[in-house]
Structures are given as structure tokens and as C-alpha cells.
Structure 1
Amino acid sequence: MGVPLRKNVQFQLLWFGGAVSQLGTQLTTVATPLLIIAVTGSVFWAGVIAGVRATALIVLQMPAGVWADRWDRGRLLFWSQTAQAGAVAAMALNVVTGTNSIPVFLVLAAVDGACVAFTGPARATAIKEVVPPEQLKSAYAQEEARTHVAYLAGPSLGALLFGLGRAVPFVADALSFLVAAVCAWFAKIPPRAVQRPRQRMREDLREAWTWLWGQRGLRNIIAVFLVLNLLGMAAMLPITVLVKERGGADWLVGLVLTGLGVGGVLGALLAPKVTVAPARLIVAVLVVFGVSDMAMALPFGAWWPFVPLMLVAVSTPLLNVSVGALFTALVPDELMGRMDAVLNFAARGLTPVAPVFGALLADVLGGAAALLVFGALILVTAVVAASSDLRTAAPRHP
């Protein structure tokens, strides 16, 4: 029996650093649009800055996966988080000096997005290195808990800090990345025992895509996630529309959406105890998503969507933990950085159009009808997934 996960110092350092930095990110996720709107009086520039960050992340995600497989992952994690600390500190300086330069914010947003592109695959390869296969599910459950606690506490704390001073959330976020960088340094992630031969980046990426193409079950799972991410994100705006249509105040919209955080934390606590095979769990979670979306349309008042939304959030960590542990166990170590980038890129390829899709349907049909449509589409996806070959996505043992 190996060392219990709670005593795995390397993993716990990575987890703590990630928890602090993710909370810091949630602070500025709220503070940045508030600041830009206050400075420019326009929502447009807030959207542009968010778009620049997302674009830098998407453009660099695949090359970052290649480099995560080539370089020392511990150092890559340390330097990417250090660079994020510097970028956010520069944002704070931009505010403190009263410059509030939009071009500066655009550049720094691009730097932040680029750093996130490197942090993701570096973190994935580091976790695979320090956590034994039999503890991966518990490790990913702890990761999920971190994520949902940050989502639950971060936005309100970010708004509170912004009220104390416009630069305060940015200073706090910069400090959070410094903490994460220090934790990554002291985690001392061991370098690879065998260094891969250097080849062109195009060949590195072709190797990853070729490996994925040979994994039929894994390809089917990614296709399910692609559709689920599209429909799940598209449903968020109709939920807001539904609450407002039923006379709900702005604060009630926020309260309903906290169901995501509450349910997510509960789901993360339950995830290690769930022993259902990933293939069956995917179908079950799709059914929960679809039924919950349709249940939101029931005429029980403006507050009602909180309940089915919380059920959706409870099931999300169950799926993420099970599939995340499966992917980590299945992917060879020498491909881990590239596959983390490839899997995220493939599974989220349609998410940029999700808000537009949701807004269009809610505008044409109304919030309740749009949620009925999205719920029905997710249930159709569940039927297709049940008839697909998902069970072949399993680690092969010699």
C-alpha cells in the first residue's frame, strides 16, 4: 500500500498552489469587466479583452502541449505561474497609476492567456508523475472540489475587494500566482527519466492525433463532451432569461446560479465513492443534464431553476473525475502534455458559439422553451452515447 493521498506532499503542494491561484483568477474574472466598464463606460472593451485572453489560450494550447512533453514540467509550471503573477501585477500597476490603458490591458490579457495554455498541460503531466494510478480518482476529486469552491467564493469576494479599491483584486491575484509558483517549485516534480528525441512540432502533434485516432472509445467520449459542453454552456443564458421572465430580481439570478457552486462541491465530495464504469456514468449524467434542463421550465417560480441546476452541478464532478482519471491512466506519459492540449481543444471546440446559440434561442422562444429544446437535445445525445462504443476506452494492462 502506497502513501495515502493526503500525505503525498508533492500532490498536496500542487493542489494548494492551484487552489490559491484559481481563487485569485475568480477575483479578477469579476473585477476586470467591472473595471473596464467603469473606465470606458462600454461593455465592448470588456468583451474584447476577454476575447483576446481566450484567443491566446486557444492559439497556444497545442504548441504548449508539445513543449510540456519536451521540457521539465516542474520548471514549466513554475515559470508559467511566475509570468502570470507578473502580468497581473502589471495590471494592478496600470490601475494604481491611473493609466488604465486599454492597449496595456489587451497585451497583458494575451500574456495571461498564453500562460494558462502552458500551465494546463504542465499540471496534467505533473499530477500523472506524482500520483499513483490507484489514487488518480481521489486526486481528481480533490481537484474538482478546489474548482467549485473557487467558483462559489471567488465572484462575491472579487466584487467585495473591487469595492475596497480597483487595484485590490489584481494585487490579490498576483500574490496567488506567486504562492502557486512557490508551491510548484517546492513540489520538486522529477524530470523524465528518458528524454524524447526532438522533432518538428508538426510531427509531435501528428503523433498525438494519430494515437487518439487509434482510440475509438476515447474519440467517442470526446465527441460526447463536445456536444455536452456546447449545449450545457448554451443553456446558461436561457436560465437567466427564465428567472427574469418570472419576475426575479438581479440578486435572485445570482442566487440561482450559485446552485452550480453548491452542487459542484457536493459532487466533488461524492465522486471518489462512485464506482460506476465511465461508459455507463457518461450516459447517466447526460440523462440527468437533459431532464434537469427540461425540469427548469416547470412553473414553480423564479427561484425553482436553482434545484435542477444544483443537480446538474452535483453530477458534473462525478463525470469529470471518472473520465479525467481514465484519460490520465490511459494516455502514455510521453504523450501526456500533448494529449491534455488535444483533448481540451477537441472537447471545447464549439464552446465559443455556445453563448450565441443560447442567446438566439432564448430571444426567439423565451427562456423556458429554450431550456426544453436544450434538454431534449441532451437526451438525444444520451441515446446516441448509449449505442456508441464507449467501453473500449479503458487502460490496457500487459
Structure 2
Amino acid sequence: MGVPLRRNVQFQLLWLGGAVSQLGTQLTTYAMPLLIFAVTGSYFWAGVIAGVRATALIVAQMPAGVWVDRWDRGKVLVISQTTQAAVVTAMAANVVTGANSIPLFLVLAALDGVCTAFSGPARSTAIKSVVPPEQLKTAYAQEEARGHTAWLAGPSLGALLYGLGRAVPFVADALSFLIAAICAWFAKIPARTEQRPRQRMHQDVKEAWAWLWRQRGMRNVVAIFLTLNLLGGATLIPVVATVKERGGSDWLVGLVLTGVGVGGVLGALISPRVTISHDRIVVGVLVVFGVSNLAMALPFGAWWPFAPLMVTAVATPLLNVSVSAVFTALVPDDLMGRLDAILTFAARALTPLAPVLGAFAADVVGGAAAVFAFGALILVTALVAAFSDLRTTVPHA
């Protein structure tokens, strides 16, 4: 019997650093649209900035995954998070000086996306190296709780900090990345004991893609995630626009978005106890997402989207925990960095379009109509998933 997860110091340090940095990221995720709207009078540039970050992340994802499998994963995590702290500090300086330069925000967003491309696979391989297979589901449930707690606290805290000064959320985010880097350093993630033969980068990538291609169920899950990430990502700005259209204040926008955190924490507590197969969970969660989006468009007042957002967020950890645990157990250790990068790349290939699409739809047809349309498309995706083979076979130790 291994050490209980709660006493696994390495994992808990990784978790603590991730929790702090994710909270910081939520502060700026909320503050950026408000800042750009205040400066330009449109949500469009906020969508473009988010889209540039997502594009940079996707472009860097493949080489990052290869290098994570070659280099010391612990050092990669520390360096990438330290660099992100510097990037967000520059964002704060852009605001403090009053320049509010859109081109500079675009450049810094791209740099942040590149750093995230490295920190994501490095974190996944680090977790696999310090958590035994039988504890992976519990570990990912704790990861989900971290993310949704950040959603719970982030919007309201972001609104409060933004009210104190437009640069304050960015300063807080920079500090959060610095704390995450320190935690990753003290976690002392073990280096690989075996070094695989060095080959050309395209051969490394080809090897990982070939492995994924043989996993039919995982391929189909990736296709579903590709669609869901596009439609779900496109929904955020329309939700903000819906609250504002109905007379909601900036403070109420933050309160509505905490619905994601409330539901997500509840879902993370439930997810380790759910024994339903991941293929059935995928279909069920898509249905919940679609119906919840349709419900958000109902004209029940500026506060109303809070409730459907909370329902959606309850279902999200069930999906993420189930799929992440299966994926981590299934992938060989020497492929983990590359496969994490490939799955992230494949699932997010369209996400640079998501904030731009959402912002464009909110400007053209209004927030509520955009949310309704995206919900209908998610239900179509659920129908397709119901008739697809999403099963995988996890090898037994």
C-alpha cells in the first residue's frame, strides 16, 4: 500500500502551486475583457488577444511535448512558470504606464501561450511520476477541485482588484506564477532514470501520433473535445455580454461567473465516486452542456446565467477526471510529454477561433442569442458522440 495522496508532499506541492497560479490566471481572464472594453469600447480586441494566446500555445505545443520528454521535466516546469511571471509583470507595466498598448498585449499573450505549451506537458509528466496508478483518479479530482475553486474565487476577486486599480489583477497574477515556480522547485520532480535514443523531432512526433492512431476510442474522444472546446470557449464572452445587456454591473458579472466555481467544486467532490465508464460520461456531459446553454438564454434577469453555469460546472469534473485518469494510465511514460502535447493540440486546434467567434457573435446578434446558438450546436455534438466508439482499454499493472 502506497503513501496516501494527502501525504504525498511532491504532488501536494505541485497542486498548491497550480492552485495559486490558476487563481491568478482567473483574475486576468476576467480583468482583460473589462480593460479592453473600457479602452476600445468593444469586446472584439479582448477576443483577439485570447485568440493569439491560444494560437501561440497550439503552434508551440508539438515541439514543447518533444522537449519535455527529452529534458528534465521539473526544470521545464520551473522555467516556464518563472517566465510567465515576467510576462504578466510586463502586462502590468503596460497598464500602469497608461499605454494600454494592444500590440504589446498581443505579443505578451503569445509569449504566455508558449510558456503554457511547455508547462502543461511538464505538469502531466510530473504528476504521472509522483502519483501511483491507483491514485490517479483521486489526484485528478483534486486537480479539478483546484481549477473550479479558482473559478469560484477568481471572478469576484478579479472584480474587486480591478476596482482598486486596472493593473492590480495583473500584479497578483505575476506573483501567483512566481509562487507556482517555487513550489515546483521544492517538489523535486524525479528525473527519468532511462534515456530513450535521441532522434529527429519529426520522428518523435510521428511515433506519438502513430500510437494515438492505434487507439480508436481515444481518437474519437479527442474529436469530441475539439468541438466542445470550440463551442464552450466561444460561450464565455457572450455570457458576459448577456449579463451586461440585462443591466448587470461589473460586480454582477463576476458573481455570475462564480457559478462555474461553485458547481465545479461540487463536481470535483463527486467525481472520484462515479463509476460510470468514460464513454457514457462524455455523451451525458455534452447533453448537460447543451441544455444549460439553452437555459442561459431564458429572459430571467441579469443574474440568471449563474444557475445554468453552475449545473454545467458540476458535470465538467466528471468528464475531465474520467478521461484524464484513463489517458494517464494508458500512455507509456516515455510518450507522456508528447502525447499530452498532441492531445492538447488536437483538442484545442480550433480554440484560437473560440473567443473571436464568441466576441463576434455577441457584437452581432447579442449575448443571449449567441449562447443559445452555441448550446444547440453542443447538442448536435452529443448526438454524434452517442453513435461513436469512445471506448479504450487501460492495461493492468
Q: TM-score, normalised by structure 2?
A: 0.88
Matches within 5 A, 1:1-398: 1-32=1-32, 46=46, 48-95=48-95, 104-240=104-240, 247-250=246-249, 252-298=252-298, 300-355=300-355, 357-358=357-358, 371=371, 373-391=373-391, 393-397=392-396
Taking the aligned partners of 1:243 and 1:94, their CA distance within structure 2 comes to 28
Structure 1: runs of 5 or more not aligned: none
Secondary structure of 1:195's partner? coil
Larger radius of gyration: 1
Greater Cα offset, 37-46 or 117-126: 37-46
Taking the aligned partners of 1:381 and 1:40, their CA distance within structure 2 comes to 35
Contact between 2:65 and 2:121, CA under 8 Å: does it hold in 1?
yes
Partner AA of 1:184 in structure 2: A
Taking the aligned partners of 1:43 and 1:364, their CA distance within structure 2 comes to 11
Q: Percentage identity across aligned positions?
A: 76
Change (3 A) 1:370 1:30: closer
Partner AA of 1:262 in structure 2: V
Contact between 1:292 and 1:308, CA under 8 Å: does it hold in 2?
yes
Secondary structure of 1:198's partner? coil
Give the drift of 1:313.
0.9
RMSD: 2.9
Contact between 1:152 and 1:258, CA under 8 Å: does it hold in 2?
yes
Greater Cα offset, 6-15 or 231-240: 231-240
Taking the aligned partners of 2:344 and 2:163, their CA distance within structure 1 comes to 35
Taking the aligned partners of 2:368 and 2:45, their CA distance within structure 1 comes to 31
Change (3 A) 1:372 1:90: closer
Give the drift of 1:365.
6.8
Greater Cα offset, 348-357 or 274-283: 348-357
Give the drift of 1:63.
0.8
Change (3 A) 1:32 1:290: closer
Taking the aligned partners of 2:307 and 2:154, their CA distance within structure 1 comes to 21
Taking the aligned partners of 2:312 and 2:41, their CA distance within structure 1 comes to 36
Taking the aligned partners of 1:41 and 1:374, their CA distance within structure 2 comes to 24
Change (3 A) 1:260 1:45: closer
Taking the aligned partners of 2:121 and 2:322, their CA distance within structure 1 comes to 19
How many matched pairs? Answer: 396
Taking the aligned partners of 1:302 and 1:32, their CA distance within structure 2 comes to 21
Q: TM-score, normalised by structure 1?
A: 0.88
Secondary structure of 1:222's partner? helix
Contact between 1:22 and 1:150, CA under 8 Å: does it hold in 2?
yes
1:298-345 residue CA offsets vs partner (Å, 9 max, x unmatched): 565554433222111100111111111111111111111111111111
Contact between 2:156 and 2:254, CA under 8 Å: does it hold in 1?
no
Give the drift of 1:180.
1.1
